[in-house]
Chain A
Amino acid sequence: MLKHRVIPCLLLQNGGLVKTIRFQKPVYVGDPINTIRIFNDKEVDELMVLDIDASRDGREPDYELIEQLAGECFMPLCYGGGIRTVEQALKLFSLGVEKVCLQTAALENMQIITDIARHAGSQSVLFSLDVRKGLFGHRKAYSASKRKALSRSWQSILQDAVAAGAGEVVLNGVDRDGTMNGVDEELIREASRSIPVPLVAIGGIGSLEDIRKAVAAGASAVSAGAFFVFYGPHRAVLITYPRYQDLERLLSTK
């Protein structure tokens, strides 16, 4: 049977890795190459690397760094950040990246998803959506690069992305980002039911139990940042990943 994937998510900023809380206060956690080597040894299911400044600064992906990172990965690598054109996506694939993750450019025009999918297949295009709660507790789609809530409902945006050809959707519970306080199960449940493609849930994972809950709520894959790079109440940097047997036991009976 297909395993539920557990995916470390690494955030790039100025060539180093950082971790945020609710998308704020980035803390340096280490060198990307070293970190990827550690995750390689730990046989992680997949890896996601997001450049959190590229779109905001209007920069292209840092191809040189990404090529180095891809060369270290004996597992699938997904990259996101600053991708605005099909050519950029194809260049990333040629450097050894398996999947690209789109947000800012796709929110402006979903056609980019269709165009990349036509060239490289749906399986290589992910659409990522950030959702956070507004003043009255309603969940709203949020644009990280513009730092503002979007007027359209997050549900209809997800539908559009899938219709455009996204092979997978990354759903980020912004209110949980970096908190390790648990996942937004309701959000995952609703989103997963509404789309036919795999859902990657991210935001709030702080324990193996949280991973189990996200999967039980319908996530095909679970991604986490803080949980894999911090250890203990003082958030000391330590790269960890659960043992295969432990994940197997955790996720075998949903």
Chain B
Amino acid sequence: MKVGVPNLACGNFLSVMKIIQKAGGKAELVQRPSDLNGFDKFIIAGVGAFDRGMASLNEDGWTDVMNELVLERKMPVLGICLGMQLMCQGSEEGSQKGLGWVQGHVRRIPLPSGSQIKIPHMGWNTVKILRPNELIPSDQGEQRFYFVHSYHAVCENISDVLATTHHGSDVTAAFGVGNILGVQFHPEKSHRFGLALMKRFVEMPC
């Protein structure tokens, strides 16, 4: 499987490329939006602020190409961390419109008042699977992943949420709408758990 990783201005993609290779896929850093057509699936990774992420998609011409591939051709796509958040309609963190592939908004992780819980939610956490799915199957025992974020995607349709994690309250860990998948954590930094997830994404039929 050929997996494209758009070289966006909002992140480093080395570790994502490495884990795709390790998972048996063929990873390629994609420099131009039009080149994305030649891939079986692709990954939107990225870190940092929402507006900056959207700006790097819009200004460099990725948005139109991605809309066509994802919404018309139904090419499988996985958003990681900020990449997942960009798939929503918008974010409390910024003022830019999101890609809008998933109905929902990105909100700051709510904390009960007076709580000792710290933001960002940073470190290893386990996930609770809400809906049977191919990406995070429930027969794998306890799965833990590495999270680093202060905001999370709040889906309008609860059935779009694949898994949650707990940090003060329930936080969206993964969502899926058909070919559109997103994970808030970093599979590329989550040892064998992340590798197994990536392998499942790479091997998913398209």
Q: How far is the CB of A208 from chain B (nearest CB, A)?
A: 17
- List B91-119 residues whose CB lies under 8 Å from chain A: 117-119
A45 to B147 CA separation, bound complex (whole angstroms)? 11
Report chain A residues within 8 Å CB of B182: none
Q: Do A2 and B125 have beta carbons less than 8 Å apart?
A: yes
Which bucket holds chain B's interface residue count?
A: 35 or more
A221 to B122 CA separation, bound complex (whole angstroms)? 10
A165 to B146 CA separation, bound complex (whole angstroms)? 21
Report chain A residues within 8 Å CB of B49: 121
Asked whether B195 is an interface residue with its Cβ less than 8 Å from the other chain, the reply is yes
- Chain A residue nearest to B22 in the complex (CB): A74
Q: Do B125 and A1 have beta carbons less than 8 Å apart?
A: yes
Contact pick for A74, options B118, B121, B122, B191, CB 8 Å = B191
Known A45-B123, A74-B189, A221-B123; contact A124-B47, beta-carbon cutoff 8 A:
yes
- Chain B residue nearest to A71 in the complex (CB): B18
Would you give the 0/1 interface string for B176-194, flagging 1 where the beta carbon is closer than 8 Å to chain A? 0000000000101111101
Q: Do A70 and B15 have beta carbons less than 8 Å apart?
A: yes
Q: Do B120 and A122 have beta carbons less than 8 Å apart?
A: yes
Would you give the 0/1 interface string for B5-17, flagging 1 where the beta carbon is closer than 8 Å to chain A? 0000001101100
Q: Do A3 and B125 have beta carbons less than 8 Å apart?
A: yes
Count of A residues near B, CB < 8 Å?
34
- Chain A residue nearest to B126 in the complex (CB): A1
- Chain A residue nearest to B47 in the complex (CB): A121
A93 to B122 CA separation, bound complex (whole angstroms)? 18
Would you give the 0/1 interface string for B187-206, flagging 1 where the beta carbon is closer than 8 Å to chain A? 01111101100000000000
Asked whether A120 is an interface residue with its Cβ less than 8 Å from the other chain, the reply is yes
A95 to B14 CA separation, bound complex (whole angstroms)? 7
Q: Do B19 and A220 have beta carbons less than 8 Å apart?
A: no
Interface SS of chain B: helix, strand, loop or mixed?
Answer: mixed
- List A48-70 residues whose CB lies under 8 Å from chain B: 70
- List A70-123 residues whose CB lies under 8 Å from chain B: 70-71, 73-76, 93-98, 119-123
Which one of B14, B150, B192, B194 has the highest number of Cβ atoms from chain A below 10 Å of its Cβ?
Answer: B14
Report chain B residues within 8 Å CB of A71: 14, 18
Q: How far is the CB of A204 from chain B (nearest CB, A)?
A: 21
Known A3-B125, A123-B150; contact A98-B189, beta-carbon cutoff 8 A:
yes
Known A2-B167, A120-B48, A121-B48; contact A74-B123, beta-carbon cutoff 8 A:
no
Contact pick for B144, options A3, A70, A124, CB 8 Å = A3
Q: Do A198 and B14 have beta carbons less than 8 Å apart?
A: no
Report chain B residues within 8 Å CB of A168: 122
Q: Do B123 and A3 have beta carbons less than 8 Å apart?
A: yes
A167 to B148 CA separation, bound complex (whole angstroms)? 10
Query: What are 16 contact pairs spanning A and B, CB under 8 A?
Result: A1-B126, A1-B167, A2-B117, A43-B191, A74-B15, A74-B188, A74-B195, A76-B186, A96-B12, A97-B12, A120-B47, A123-B47, A167-B120, A196-B119, A198-B118, A220-B122
- Identify the A interface with B (CB < 8 A): 1-5, 40, 43, 45-46, 70-71, 73-76, 93-98, 119-124, 167-168, 196-198, 220-221
Ranked nearest first, the 5 interchain pairs of A and B with the lowest CB-CB distance are A96-B14, A3-B124, A121-B48, A123-B148, A43-B191
